[in-house]
């Protein structure tokens, strides 16, 4: 049976959160991958890449895997009733409910993370506490049929993990080799623990406005539900 993957596509999505797992999923034999949004009008990722949804909330077919990527655009999704209702509907039927980066915050806003282990980007993982989740830093974190990934580039690791769950380790390793996924970054600055202090401070400052806006939204949401 062919596998059907659905990835939420939305304005200001972090494109690598989406395109990393998309490439892995689409490399599986017979797989179908849809980009899903409210309509099929082209939208723009946070860094300017144009994306065109291939399915809508109204006509989305049954999915095996539903994935929510992250990015600056998730701030709007946290309070979007139409999006959250769609996410809850998918959670009732898919084999695996998943996210990459800050996409896990949308799962939290939809009320799907209570008591469950989940991860996110290092600059947002602590915010999962506000949704009753158990923040668990890591590249890929699994809790039952919930699979969440850390920041941005972890989406490739996540994609291979999902393929291994569905099709076995050999299938995942074949895709990994086909993509020549053997990362050797030129700098050991990919996590707060390894980055130089000055780089970490500068990065936190760069991300501060989006973080502050996100904190305000989550505080408002949790107060309303208290």
Condensed to tens digits (0 to 9), the pLDDT of residues 58-102 reads 999 999 999 999 999 999 999 999 999 999 999 999 999 999 999
Taking a C-beta distance cutoff of 8 angstroms, is the pair 102, 124 a contact? yes
Annotated active-site residue 60? The verdict is no
Of 101, 110, 175, 217, which is the active-site residue? 101
Query: In this predicted structure, what is the pLDDT of residue 223?
Result: 83
Q: Is 74 exposed, middle or buried (0-12, 13-18, 19+ CB in 10 A)?
A: buried
Q: How far is 146 from 144, CA to CA, in rounded Å?
A: 5
Task: Return the CATH number of the domain spanning residue range 4-186.
Answer: 3.40.50.880
Query: In this predicted structure, what is the pLDDT of residue 226?
Result: 67
Query: In this predicted structure, what is the pLDDT of residue 41?
Result: 98
Taking a C-beta distance cutoff of 8 angstroms, is the pair 14, 152 a contact? yes
Instruction: Look up residue 38 and give its two tokens.
Output: 């409210």
Q: What are phi and psi of 144, to 5 degrees?
A: 65, -130
Q: How would you write the pLDDT of the chain (226 residues) with one tens digit per residue?
A: 689 999 999 999 999 999 999 999 999 999 999 999 999 999 999 999 999 999 999 999 999 999 999 999 999 999 999 999 999 999 999 999 999 999 999 999 999 999 999 999 999 999 999 999 999 989 999 999 999 999 999 999 999 999 999 999 999 999 999 999 999 999 999 999 999 999 999 999 999 999 999 999 999 998 877 6
């Amino acid at each position: 049976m062919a596998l059907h993957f659905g990835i939420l596509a939305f304005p200001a999505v972090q494109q690598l959160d989406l395109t990393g797992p998309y490439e892995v999923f689409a490399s599986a034999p017979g797989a179908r991958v849809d980009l899903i949004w409210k309509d099929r009008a082209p939208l723009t990722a946070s860094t300017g890449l144009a994306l065109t949804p291939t399915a809508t909330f109204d006509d989305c077919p049954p999915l095996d895997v539903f994935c929510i990527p992250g990015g600056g655009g998730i701030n709007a999704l946290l309070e979007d009733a139409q999006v959250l209702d769609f996410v809850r509907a998918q959670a009732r039927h898919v084999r695996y409910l998943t996210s990459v980066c800050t996409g896990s915050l949308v799962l939290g806003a939809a009320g799907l993370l209570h008591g469950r282990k989940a991860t996110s980007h290092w600059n947002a993982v602590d915010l999962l506490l506000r949704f009753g989740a158990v923040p668990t830093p890591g590249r890929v974190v699994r809790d039952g049929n919930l699979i969440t990934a850390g920041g941005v580039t972890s989406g490739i690791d996540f994609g291979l993990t999902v393929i291994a769950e569905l099709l076995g380790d050999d299938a995942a390793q074949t895709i990994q080799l086909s993509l020549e996924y053997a990362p050797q970054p030129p700098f050991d600055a990919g996590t707060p623990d390894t980055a130089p202090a000055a780089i970490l401070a500068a990065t936190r400052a760069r991300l501060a406005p989006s973080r502050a806006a996100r904190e305000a939204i989550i505080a408002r949401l949790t107060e309303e539900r208290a």
